[in-house]
Structure 1
Amino acid sequence: MRIKYLSILLISLLFSCNEKKEISSVNPKNWSKRAINLSTKDSLEFGKSYLSVYSQIYSNTEHKTHNLTSMISMRNISESDSIYLLRAEYYDTNGKSIRKYFDSPIFLAPMETTEIIIDEIDVSGGTGSNFILEWKIPKNCPEPLFEGIMTSTMGQQGLSFTTQAKRIK
């Protein structure tokens, strides 16, 4: 009986080890569906926003950290105009660029939201990670809303908090 349980445990471990772990799994095909060509001589207003996000936070001491899942929510709050995102770049605690999420401008239709997910196992950003988001909007259009939502659950304990972007240009 003991050998049977041990065999089942070993088989379970083998299958779980073969499971492919993806880090910050944002499929580039999702962004290419949103790609749009913008004229360099358009009448759109340019903006740049800074968003703090946390892939880790300190727990108990400065020597122990807790990993978080981060969702970067990019929202068009206009009821009538599309907006355009030019850049979403992720930086680590030391200000080093980790990755860019799309290579050409993308659009968000009126009242549309899209997200970037930083998986809990991706700790490349550290405790002070952040995003620079560049965008263009039509004149008299509300600015986009960018939020970071950080979550983690362990057993019956849960942790979540949000951050909001600050316009820097």
Structure 2
Amino acid sequence: MKKVALLITVVSFLFSCETKQNNEPKPSSHLESMKWTGKVNDSLIEGSSYLSVYSQIYSTTEHKTHDLTATVSIRNTNRTDTIYINSADYFNTKGDLIRHYIKQPIFIKPMQTIEIVIDENDIEGGTGANFIFDWSVKKLTNAPYFEAVMISTSGQQGLSFTTKGVDLN
């Protein structure tokens, strides 16, 4: 009987343990499949863009926050030209680099959209998280369009809003 009680205690303990969240981005097949392995044309124009993203927002007071899921959308608005995203770096409220989502150039086909999702339980970015994107395009080609949608639901209540990227050049 003692062995059964011990076994139940051990099993209960194992199921109640929380695993620590790994803050490295989850492998994303759509980003992996878009890595650019060719030579990048030196006649491309380079640029940088900033996008604010909220992992949390304040509610009622500065001491109460709501966690949010953020979907970062990277869009190629060109009908015929491919664009290249050279890096996507995610920073927290204090300006500390949290992670690199894109470490080597990827390509985005004409009219294609790719996304990065920051899970609701990933609150490392805080209330002032942001991205810096470095990108390259052909001359006379539209720059990438960056947008984020933040959302949270609880019971019958929902909250959502968007932010748009700005060119840093």
Common fold: TM-score over 0.5: yes
Instruction: Give SS of 1:88's match.
Output: strand
Q: Is the 8 A contact 1:24 1:118 kept in 2?
A: no
Asked if structure 1 preserves the Cα contact closer than 8 Å seen for 2:25 and 2:101, the reply is no
CA contact (8 A) 2:30 2:114 kept: no
1:159 aligns with 2:159: yes
**Residue type of the alignment partner of 1:160:** S
Q: Where does residue 133 of structure 2 map in the other structure? A: 133
Change (3 A) 1:160 1:26: same
User: Matched residues, percent identical?
Assistant: 49
Aligned to 1:65: 65
Q: Secondary structure at the match of 1:42?
A: coil
Counterpart position of 2:110? 110
Secondary structure in 2 aligned to 1:127?
helix
How far did residue 133 of structure 1 move?
0.5
Which residue type is aligned with residue 59 of structure 1? S
- Segments ≥4 residues shifted beyond 4 Å: 14-25
Amino acid across the alignment from 1:151: I
Task: Return closer, same or farther for 1:30/1:17 CA change in 2, 3 Å cut-off.
Answer: farther
Displacement of 1:79? 0.3
* 1:143 CA drift (Å): 1.0
How far does the alpha carbon of each residue in 1:48-106 deviate from its partner, in whole angstroms, 9 at most, with x for none?
00000000000110000000000100000000000000010000000000000122100
Q: What SS does structure 2 have at the residue aligned with 1:30?
A: helix
Partner of 2:124: 124
SS at match of 1:101: strand
* C-alpha RMSD over aligned residues: 2.4
**Secondary structure of the corresponding residue to residue 102 of structure 2:** coil
Within 2, Cα distance between the matches of 1:157 and 1:26? Answer: 29
What is the rounded CA distance, in whole Å, between the counterparts of 1:41 and 1:142 in structure 2?
A: 17
Residues 41, 83 of structure 1: alpha-carbon distance in 2 compared, 3 angstrom cutoff: closer
Rounded Cα–Cα distance in structure 2 between residues aligned with 1:126 and 1:134: 23
Is contact 2:150-2:160 (8 Å) kept?
A: yes
Give the corresponding residue for 1:55. Answer: 55
Q: CA deviation at 1:42?
A: 1.3
